[in-house]
Every structure is written in C-alpha cells, then in structure tokens.
C-alpha cells in the first residue's frame, strides 16, 4: 500500500511538473522578446534596468526548460533534433550569452576553444547549448564576486565520422562537501552552504542526462572553499561537409609535412613497455628527431631535471606506464623549478578517453594524443602543428577554415 501511494504521488508530481513548466514556457519567451524590443528604443539608466530584467528572465527561462526536460527524462522520452550546425558559432553564442551574467558579478570568464578542424557537426544545437549553459551558469552562481572561471573546450578525432568534444570548467567558488558531491546529479539537489542563489537544483541533473544519452561522460572534482572542476566528454557526429573539407586539409598537410625538417628537435620517450619504446623511437628517428628513452617515472623526472634548459623539445609518455605512474611523472616534471617544462608539449600515447582516471590526465596538461599503430603521418602533423604554427594556420585558412587557435 505504501509503495502504491508513493508511486501515485510520484506520478502526480511528474504530471504537475510537466504541465506547469510547459504552460510557463510561452509567456516567459514572449516577455523576453518584448524586453529585447523595448531595449532597442531606450537608452541611459532605463537601458541598464531593462538589461538586468532580461538577464533575470533568461534565468527563469532556463529553469523552466530544465523542468520540461526533467519531465521528459522521467517518462523516458527525451528528444533530440539534429541538423548541420557550426560549432564555433554555437560556442561563441554561449560566451556572448554568459558574459553579461559574469560581468554582473565582476567575474573573469576565461573562455577558449580549439575545434581542431571539426567546424561542422550534425547535432542537436539546443541540447549542446543546454549542457554548456547549465554547467557554466552553476559555476557563475556559486562563485563569489571578483573571482575567475575558466572554460577550455577542444575537439579530437575519435572513430570514423565522430569526434570527441572535451570541456573542462574550473571555478574558484565555494566548492562542495563530499556528502553533497555524491548526490550532485540528483534532481533538486543544491549546495546548502550558500543561500540566496538562483536555480532549483536541476542544471547538473539535466546536463548529465543529456551527456549520458549521447554516450558521453561527466565527472566532478570539488573541495569545500577550493572551487570545483566539472569535466565532460561528448561524442560528436561530424557533418559530411566538414569531413570532406577536413580530408582535403589532411591530404594537403601530409603533402606539406613531407618537406619539413624535424632534425633540430629532441624528444624524450617515457615507456616501460620495450616494444612501445622501440616503435616510438623508430618512428621519430625516421623523420629526423633525436630520441632519448626513459623506462620509468623516476628516470624520466631525473633526465629532465639534470638536463639543461631547453634540452628536450617534446615529451612522449605512454599512458600504460601504468596510468597513475604516467600522471605522476608529468606532474613531477611540471613542478620542476625551470621555465622550459611549462612550455614543453606533452604527447600522450594510447590514452583512453573513457578511462575513470581521465580527469587526472587532463590535470597533467596533455597537449596531443598519438595512438597505435603510431603512424608516422600523424606524428608529423603533431610536430608540424606545434613547431610550425604559422604554416599550420595558413593551410587551414587557405581551405576556408576560421582558425581560432
């Protein structure tokens, strides 16, 4: 009987949530549109007042959208509508929407992305926007005035016509208690130590549902009073237009890298697996790079520490060192008291984007991935991009890409 009562109460709650939120969507959207029209015809103090009202209305609209989606989640009918979209334009628009909200709290919003040539995708623009808006809005909400928020996004080749969109959002906010962090994805959960904040505790719930539906992953690292790091990975369907364009660039890059001299570079390969060391060494030496080897974490740290500044140009680390050892090696190298270790590019060999420890790999500041069968062509593109950036940029611009980074 108790179970039956609870189930009926849950059904009533879901029905109420669905009906009320859907009925509220249209009038709130109309109010926002009317306010934008009003803003075009006023100036001075009134302009600032209307702008603030628009921000509040947008917050309310996002809460209503999240409520509608929660009702869909509960019924198992979350919908996706895909179309060809320009990822750069989408990410730019997200920044433009959130910049005024950050400015309102005098927050520095450090926002950057690298699409790596994957400009066009066949995806649901609304759902992608929703994920970023929800996560970044949370970071803004739980950050004190004058703090900094960092959002770094990059795209990497994955499988066939798919790429991985990786995002790391770091804030200097209040952080989370461990007990709360365990339940952070549950609906209506809010960090209780900060009062008077906007929202009803659905932002991360909705974002995590969308990411999981897309077969991605989201994870959070947070400590009280030390801020929060939210990281997520989403497989993105690349549009045919982008793939054809990218293939042309890839062919041209292959042609250009054949003429490039890499003999002035020295690389350090760190791998316990002798086969991996030999494979990487052969590929590097074949294109002229001087190679040295380290068989474990401590040897790698010692070799870098004992070398003169600028001795090594690039570091290759096998992520099967095992993984924790590889991460520790990179962290210890980054902690050395010298400038060159912060500028030295890191190439991870065989990192799995869905490993449980991937957040540690992100913290290790890995710049590139080079995976089996360790193709020389892919290696050349990495070196060309890193050590001949102007030529690399020029190639993409000639093919019609808008180069952001």
pLDDT tens-place values along the chain, 405 residues long: 888 888 777 777 666 666 666 677 677 777 877 787 777 777 777 777 877 787 777 777 777 776 666 666 665 556 677 888 889 999 999 998 889 889 988 999 999 999 988 888 988 888 899 899 989 988 998 888 899 999 999 998 887 788 999 999 999 888 887 766 666 766 555 555 444 555 556 778 888 888 988 889 999 888 888 889 999 999 998 887 666 666 666 676 777 777 788 999 999 999 888 888 888 999 999 899 999 999 988 899 999 999 999 999 999 988 765 666 677 788 888 888 888 888 889 898 875 544 444 455 555 577 888 877 788 888 888 898 888 888 777 777 776 666 665
Burial 381-397 (b: 16+ CB within 10 A, else e): bbbbbbbbeeebeebbe
Is residue 144 a contact partner of residue 173, using CB atoms and an 8 Å limit?
yes
Where in 172-298 does DSSP place strands (E)? 217-222, 228-237, 266-270, 290-294
Amino acid 153: pLDDT: 94
Report whether 231 contacts 290 (CB < 8 A). Answer: no
Nearest Cα to 168, choosing from 220, 95, 227? 220
- How many angstroms separate the CA atoms of 366 and 297, rounded? 16
User: Is residue 172 within 8 Å of 147, Cβ to Cβ?
Assistant: yes
Half-sphere exposure of 233 (CA within 13 A, CB side): 18
Alpha helices in 258-322 (DSSP H): 274-286, 297-306
């Amino acid at each position: 009987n108790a179970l039956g009562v609870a189930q009926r109460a849950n059904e009533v709650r879901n029905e109420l949530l669905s009906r009320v939120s859907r009925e509220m969507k249209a009038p709130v959207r109309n109010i926002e549109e009317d306010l934008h029209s009003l803003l075009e015809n006023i100036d001075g103090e009134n302009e600032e007042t209307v702008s603030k009202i628009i921000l509040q209305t947008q917050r309310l609209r996002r809460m209503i959208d999240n409520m509608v989606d929660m009702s869909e989640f509960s019924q198992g009918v979350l919908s996706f509508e895909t179309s060809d979209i320009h990822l750069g334009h989408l990410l730019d628009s997200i920044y433009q929407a959130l910049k005024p909200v950050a400015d309102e709290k005098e927050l520095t919003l450090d926002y950057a992305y690298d699409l790596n040539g994957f400009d066009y995708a066949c995806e649901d623009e609304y759902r992608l926007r929703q994920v970023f808006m929800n996560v970044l809005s949370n970071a803004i909400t739980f950050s004190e005035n004058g703090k900094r928020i960092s959002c770094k996004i990059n795209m990497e080749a994955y499988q066939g016509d798919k790429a991985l969109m990786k995002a790391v959002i770091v804030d200097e906010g209040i952080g989370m208690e461990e007990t709360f962090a365990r339940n952070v994805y549950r609906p209506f959960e809010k960090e209780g130590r900060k009062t008077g904040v906007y929202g009803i505790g659905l932002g991360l719930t909705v974002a995590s549902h969308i990411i999981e539906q897309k077969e991605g992953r989201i994870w959070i690292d947070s400590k009280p009073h030390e801020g929060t790091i939210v990281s997520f990975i989403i497989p993105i369907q690349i549009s045919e237009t982008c793939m054809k364009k990218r293939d042309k660039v890839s062919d041209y890059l292959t042609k250009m890298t054949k003429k490039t001299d890499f003999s002035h570079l020295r690389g350090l390969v760190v791998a316990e697996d002798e086969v991996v060391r030999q494979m990487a060494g052969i590929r590097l030496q074949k294109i002229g790079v001087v190679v040295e080897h380290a068989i474990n974490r401590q040897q790698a740290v010692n070799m870098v520490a004992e070398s003169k500044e600028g001795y090594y140009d690039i570091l290759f680390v096998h992520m099967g060192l095992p993984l924790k050892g590889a991460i520790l090696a990179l962290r210890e190298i980054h902690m050395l008291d010298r400038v060159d270790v912060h500028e030295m590019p890191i190439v991870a060999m065989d990192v799995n984007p869905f490993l449980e420890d991937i957040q540690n790999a992100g913290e290790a500041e890995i710049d590139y991935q080079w995976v089996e069968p360790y193709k020389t062509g892919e290696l050349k593109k990495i070196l060309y991009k890193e050590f001949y950036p102007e030529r690399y940029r020029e190639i993409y611009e000639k093919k019609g890409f808008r180069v952001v980074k």
